[in-house]
Amino acid sequence: MKILLASTLAAQHDFETRYAPALWALADTLSVILAEVEGRQRRSITLAGEAAARSGKVVTAAGAVIIALQSGDSIRQRLEHAIAGLRLAETLEIERTIHHRIVGTSQDRIAQTQPGRGTFRRYR
């Protein structure tokens, strides 16, 4: 057993002598890489928080734009209805004026052609 223990210790010493510098260098490299990964992770968390805040602002702005568009559309529809009503009223007024001119002209002609009608009849 003593020989086995001595052999194992010699093998361990030989391994450490051969590979210790490479293992220490590897450990240092892994420590540097781990620090870089942790730094990137912190930056990622910060960026994710900023992205979430900006997304919230975008959602709020989009909601405001949608409300403004709906409001503008509602106002546009009301203006279109008001304009349509004014155009209809204008058309009816023109038709009424034309009708009164035609009817008035016809009645004047009838009054002129029929005795006892027209201006003289008013004064009787």
pTM of the entire predicted model: 0.45
pLDDT in tens, 70-124: 999 999 999 999 999 999 999 999 998 888 888 776 666 666 666 555 554 544 4
Quote the percentage of the chain above a pLDDT of 70.
Answer: 83
Mean per-residue pLDDT over the chain, rounded: 88
* Average pLDDT value for residue range 39-60: 96
Task: Read off the pLDDT band of 28 (50, 70, 90).
Answer: very high
DSSP for 61-120, written as a single string = HHHHHHHHHHHHHHHHHHHHHHHHHHHHHHHHHHHHHHHHHHHHHHHHHHHHHSTT-SHH
